[in-house]
Structure 1
Amino acid sequence: MAAICVFCASSSTIEQNWLDLATDTGKALAARGHTLVSGGGRVGMMGAVAEGARSGGGHTVGVMPEQLVSREIADTKSDELIVTDDMGSRKNVMIERSDAFIVLAGGLGTLDELFEVWTTGYLNLHRKPIVLLDPDGFYDDLLAWLDRLADTAFVKRPALERVIVARTIDAALDTIESRL
């Protein structure tokens, strides 16, 4: 089975539907025997995905920079909690420890993580699947903007094809499993 990194919001003020999606994603990962790699927080969607995975008997790996351990409230229930020196090291560890990536709704941090794995994948620094799990069109405007950038040659079409959009958790996991 695979180690799947889930990028998502860590804010504690997220609406319940997003928390439910994160919880259900964690449960589905565990049900299929996958390990969860996450940002190591126990709040918001990040905490919900980890709790969902653990509730289904899944193995969880949290990765958090030292300066955020107290700020994001570290997920001390993680089977493995890796504390890094900084955010760059955090992303590197998350990429190294993961076989694939699922991106849920999130803000700047989630977008930073998405674009990091997207760019490094396009540069062939890894061949790991990247799936936007987007049941409600959260990323539709961003994807439309990126598609328009491809018309200007600022973004190449093959780069856009590196990210797959899935509307359901099962479709996201099926896509990943078919590409591993």
Structure 2
Amino acid sequence: MKRVSVFCGSSQGASPKYTESAKQLGVELAKEGITLVYGGSKVGIMGVVANAALEAGGEVIGVLPTMLMEREIAHQGLSELIIVNSMHERKAKMEELSDGFIVLPGGPGTMEEFFEVYTWAQLGEHQKPIGILNSNQYYDKLLTFFEHMIEEQFLKREYHDMIIVEGEAKPLLEKFSTYTPPKVTKWITRQQT
């Protein structure tokens, strides 16, 4: 695994555990020689994860829409900053550049990014691992809601099990290295190789 996209908040959140978790992830990515791909901002835990990776000697690629560049929130110390025209282009570029995806705590934008790559995985558009770094149990209610989706037959267990959930960065990355995508995606059965 060479590059991992991280989706996370442009705020630091209510608990210092969120920033600590972001720092831990940035350091672990750098230690493993994995390039961080993220939203390109200097604010919130986005900035924290980028700074931690850079300070640990890692490579960091930011992908930022023009409108956010104009609002002066771009991180100026990155290994590379890619400017795109829209939020749609940002997600597509991050998916193209990455071998996997990790979700840290964040708001609606983070959720939207997560659900898009998760939906793409269910449809077989990519076979890359998707992880939730469940810092401070932030995503517990979402994980409970996934169980409700399964009970109500709107989500199959095998698609639920595509998501790797851990409370710490190191075991999450270890599971990424052994991830095997499911053989069946929605409406398609992949040939076994």
TM-score band by shorter chain is over 0.9
Residue in structure 2 matched with residue 134 of structure 1 by the alignment: 134
Aligned AA (1:76): Q
Deviation at 1:14, TM superposition (A): 5.2
CA RMSD between the two structures: 1.5
Quote the Cα distance in structure 1 between the aligned partners of 2:14 and 2:7: 15
Quote the Cα distance in structure 1 between the aligned partners of 2:135 and 2:22: 12
Deviations 1:12-43 (A, max 9, x none): 56543211211121011001111000010011
Quote the Cα distance in structure 2 between the aligned partners of 1:153 and 1:12: 35
Deviation at 1:71, TM superposition (A): 3.0
> Measured at CA, do residues 13 and 164 of structure 1 come closer, stay the same or move farther in structure 2, by a change above 3 Å?
closer
Segments ≥4 residues shifted beyond 2 Å: 12-17
| 1:4-23 equivalences in 2 (<5 Å) | 4-11=4-11, 15-23=15-23
Q: Is the 8 A contact 2:23 2:52 kept in 1?
A: yes
2:71 corresponds to 1:71? yes
Task: Return 5+ residue gaps in structure 2 as ranges.
Answer: 181-193
| 1:22-171 equivalences in 2 (<5 Å) | 22-71=22-71, 73-171=73-171
Deviations 1:108-153 (A, max 9, x none): 0110111011000111100000010114211111111121111222
Quote the Cα distance in structure 2 between the aligned partners of 1:51 and 1:173: 19
Deviation at 1:72, TM superposition (A): 6.3
TM (norm. structure 2) is 0.88
State the identity %.
40
Quote the Cα distance in structure 1 between the aligned partners of 2:143 and 2:13: 25
TM (norm. structure 1) is 0.94
Residue in structure 2 matched with residue 179 of structure 1 by the alignment: 179
Which has the larger Rg?
A: 2
Range with bigger deviation, 47-56 or 151-160:
151-160
Task: Return 5+ residue gaps in structure 1 as ranges.
Answer: none
